[in-house]
Amino acid sequence: MPRSGVYLGVSAHIMHQWQRTLYETGFAVTRIPLDFDELYIEGALGRIDVIQGISPIQTLVPRPGCGVGPSYSDNFGLGAFPFHTDMAHWSVPPRYFALICASGSSNVTTNFIHRDHILRPQEQVECARAIFRARRPLDGRQIPLRMLSSDIFRWDALFLEPANRAAARIASLISDRLSTAKQSKVALEEPGQTLIVDNWRTLHGRSAVPQASDKRVLKRIYLKSVS
């Protein structure tokens, strides 16, 4: 079995091309029928990570923001979303997520940067010493969050703040590098087109949404593993 199969927890001998790409680059594109349900997702993509208070299949539509709130849409509205990892304020953020195109747009892109492209190996060692905390405590608790712990990498300048000197140093280094790092961009244009993202190794953001693209609709599903 290829090493990537071990990494992804894939038990079947045949790996799909999208799984290989996911392992190699941190994201991949595939296609699923639009009449999918949770059972289909578990067979075709992977185990759904059910998060309390969040629907297993979420609908994302662009909407104007109000400058403050618990989501990127609240804060940035139709503007560009800065690079981040999802649920970075959770002790264990979801391993993967899928974005499935319900109504597409060629003018809006999801953008990616692999963590290895902004951090050298020595800096990743320092990341393991960098502690962050949520700007707003989760359920009233303030949990220390290691930026890099085993394989979990987290980055969210909006909802997390540095809690020690290593974190402050590495945060400013990452902010600088993100502004110049090479990005990969994917536009979900056709219904059924599906992006799978490795949320522990890849930072993602979204381009601004022009008025003509405000009918863009995506479905998001968090995954514990890919099948």
Q: CB of 75 within 8 A of CB of 69?
A: yes
Report H helices in 71-164. Answer: 72-76, 121-127
- CB neighbour list of residue 26: distance below 8 Å, 6 or more residues apart: 112, 114, 115, 197, 198, 201, 202
Using CB under 5 A, count the residues that bind Fe ion: 1
| Cα–Cα distance, 150 to 2 (Å, whole number) | 21
Q: How far is the CB of 79 from Fe ion (least distance, A)?
A: 14
Q: How far is the CB of 153 from Fe ion (least distance, A)?
A: 14
Which CB sits closer to Fe ion, 10 or 196? 196
Which CB sits closer to Fe ion, 86 or 161? 86
Which CB sits closer to Fe ion, 74 or 86? 86
Which CB sits closer to Fe ion, 4 or 58? 58
Q: How far is the CB of 95 from Fe ion (least distance, A)?
A: 14
| Residue whose beta carbon is closest to Fe ion | 86
Using CB under 5 A, which residues numbered 61 to 100 contact Fe ion?
86
Q: How far is the CB of 115 from Fe ion (least distance, A)?
A: 15
Q: How far is the CB of 125 from Fe ion (least distance, A)?
A: 26
Which CB sits closer to Fe ion, 36 or 72? 72
- CB neighbour list of residue 46: distance below 8 Å, 6 or more residues apart: 96, 223, 224, 225, 226, 227
Which CB sits closer to Fe ion, 10 or 222? 222
Q: How far is the CB of 206 from Fe ion (least distance, A)?
A: 8
Q: Which two tokens stand for residue 49?
A: 């990570």
Q: How far is the CB of 1 from Fe ion (least distance, A)?
A: 31
Which CB sits closer to Fe ion, 86 or 214? 86
Measure the CA angle with vertex 50, ends 45 and 53; round to 5°. 140
Pairing mode of beta strands 193-198, 96-103:
antiparallel
Q: Please, is 25 exposed, middle or buried when counting C-beta atoms within 10 Å of its C-beta (0-12, 13-18, 19+)? A: middle
Measure the CA angle with vertex 185, ends 181 and 189; round to 5°. 170
Half-sphere exposure of 9 (CA within 13 A, CB side): 10
> Can you give the binding site for Fe ion, defined by CB under 5 A?
86
